[in-house]
Amino acid sequence: MVQGKIVKVSGPLVVASGMRNANMYDVVHVGKDQLVGEIIEMRGDRASIQVYEETAGIGYGDEVVSTGEPLSVELGPGLITNMYDGIQRPLQVMYEKYGTNITRGISEPSLSRTDKWKFSPKASVGDKVEPGDILGVVQETELVEQKIMVPNGVYGEVTSISEGEFTVTDVVASIKKEDGTTVEVQLMQKWPVRKARPYKAKVAPHEPLITGQRVIDAMFPIAKGGTACVPGPFGSGKTVVQHQLAKWSDVDIVVYIGCGERGNEMTDVLREFPELKDPKSGYSLMKRTVLIANTSDMPVAAREASIYTGITIAEYFRDMGYSVAVIADSSSRWAEALREMSGRLEEMPGEEGYPAYLTSRLAQFYERAGDVICNGKDGRRGTLSAVGAVSPQGGDISEPVSQATLRIVKVFWGLDSSLAYRRHFPAINWLTSYSLYKDRLSLWFEENVSRDWNSVTGEAMRLLSVENELDEIVKLVGVDALSPNERLTLEAARSIREDFLQQNAFEEGDMYTPLDKQFGLLKLILSFYTKSLDAIKKGADIEKIADLPVRERIGRAKAALDDVYKKEYSEIESQLDEELSDLVKEGGDN
Considering only 110-118, 223-231, 335-343, 372-380, which stretch makes contact with other proteins by CB under 8 A? Answer: 335-343
Residue 293 within binding range of other proteins, rule CB under 8 A? yes
Which residue, 29 or 380, is less far from other proteins as judged by CB?
29
- Judged on CB neighbours under 10 Å (0-12, 13-18, 19+), 469 is exposed
Which residue, 250 or 329, is less far from other proteins as judged by CB?
329
Name which position in 139, 267, 450, 581 contacts other proteins (CB under 8 A): 267
Considering only 8-16, 142-150, 207-215, 529-537, which stretch makes contact with other proteins by CB under 8 A? Answer: 8-16
Instruction: Read off the amino acid at residue 400.
Output: P
Considering only 188-196, 211-219, 262-270, 319-327, which stretch makes contact with other proteins by CB under 8 A? Answer: 262-270
Residue 58 within binding range of other proteins, rule CB under 8 A? yes
How far is residue 314's CA from residue 97's CA, in Å, rounded to a whole number?
27
DSSP characters over 476-512 = HH-GGGS-HHHHHHHHHHHHIIIIII---TTSTTTS-
Q: How many residues make up the chain in this entry?
A: 590
Min dist CB 193 to other proteins, Å, is 20
DSSP H or E run through 253:
strand 253-259
Residue 270 within binding range of other proteins, rule CB under 8 A? yes
Residue 44 within binding range of other proteins, rule CB under 8 A? no
Count Cβ atoms below 10 Å from residue 345 Cβ, excluding itself: 15
Q: Is the peptide bond before 426 cis (omega within 30 degrees of 0)?
A: yes
Residue 262 within binding range of other proteins, rule CB under 8 A? yes
How far is residue 387's CA from residue 369's CA, in Å, rounded to a whole number?
10
Min dist CB 518 to other proteins, Å, is 19
Min dist CB 560 to other proteins, Å, is 12
Min dist CB 530 to other proteins, Å, is 22
Which residue, 68 or 235, is less far from other proteins as judged by CB?
235
Residue 352 within binding range of other proteins, rule CB under 8 A? yes
Residues 364-423 within binding reach of other proteins (CB under 8 A): 391, 393-396, 417, 420-423
First CA to last CA distance, the chain: 97
Instruction: Read off the amino acid at residue 57.
Output: G
Residue 526 within binding range of other proteins, rule CB under 8 A? no
Count Cβ atoms below 10 Å from residue 366 Cβ, excluding itself: 24
- Judged on CB neighbours under 10 Å (0-12, 13-18, 19+), 428 is buried
293: phi then psi, degrees, rounded to nearest 5:
-125, 110
Q: Name every residue whose Cβ is closer than 8 Å to that of residue 42 and which is 6 or more positions away in sequence.
A: 19, 22, 24, 48
Looking at residue 410, the DSSP 8-state letter turns out to be S
Which residue, 99 or 126, is less far from other proteins as judged by CB?
99
Min dist CB 108 to other proteins, Å, is 12
Min dist CB 335 to other proteins, Å, is 10
Q: Is the peptide bond before 330 cis (omega within 30 degrees of 0)?
A: yes
Min dist CB 492 to other proteins, Å, is 16
Which residue, 93 or 183, is less far from other proteins as judged by CB?
93
Residues 538-567 within binding reach of other proteins (CB under 8 A): 547, 549, 551-552, 555-556
Min dist CB 73 to other proteins, Å, is 18
Provide the mask over 59-78, with x wherever binding to other proteins is found by CB under 8 A and - wherever it is not: xxx-----------------
How far is residue 471's CA from residue 101's CA, in Å, rounded to a whole number?
53
How far is residue 506's CA from residue 36's CA, in Å, rounded to a whole number?
40
Min dist CB 103 to other proteins, Å, is 6
- Of 384, 312, 295, 369, residue with least CA distance to 73: 312
Min dist CB 25 to other proteins, Å, is 23
Residues 439-478 within binding reach of other proteins (CB under 8 A): 474-475, 477-478
Min dist CB 9 to other proteins, Å, is 4
Residues 204-233 within binding reach of other proteins (CB under 8 A): 233
Name which position in 29, 247, 339, 438 contacts other proteins (CB under 8 A): 339
Residue 189 within binding range of other proteins, rule CB under 8 A? no
Query: How many chain residues are in contact with other proteins, going by CB under 8 A?
Result: 77
Widest CA span in the chain: 98
Provide the mask over 240-259, with x wherever binding to other proteins is found by CB under 8 A and - wherever it is not: ------------------x-
Residue 310 within binding range of other proteins, rule CB under 8 A? no
Which residue, 188 or 420, is less far from other proteins as judged by CB?
420
CA 66 to chain centre: 34
Which residue, 99 or 282, is less far from other proteins as judged by CB?
99
Name which position in 92, 360, 465, 485 contacts other proteins (CB under 8 A): 92
Min dist CB 332 to other proteins, Å, is 8
- Of 220, 192, 284, residue with least CA distance to 247: 284
Per residue, the 3-state secondary structure of 332-380, as one string, reads: HHHHHHHHHHHHHCCCCECHHHCECCHHHHHHHHHHCCEEEECCCCCCC
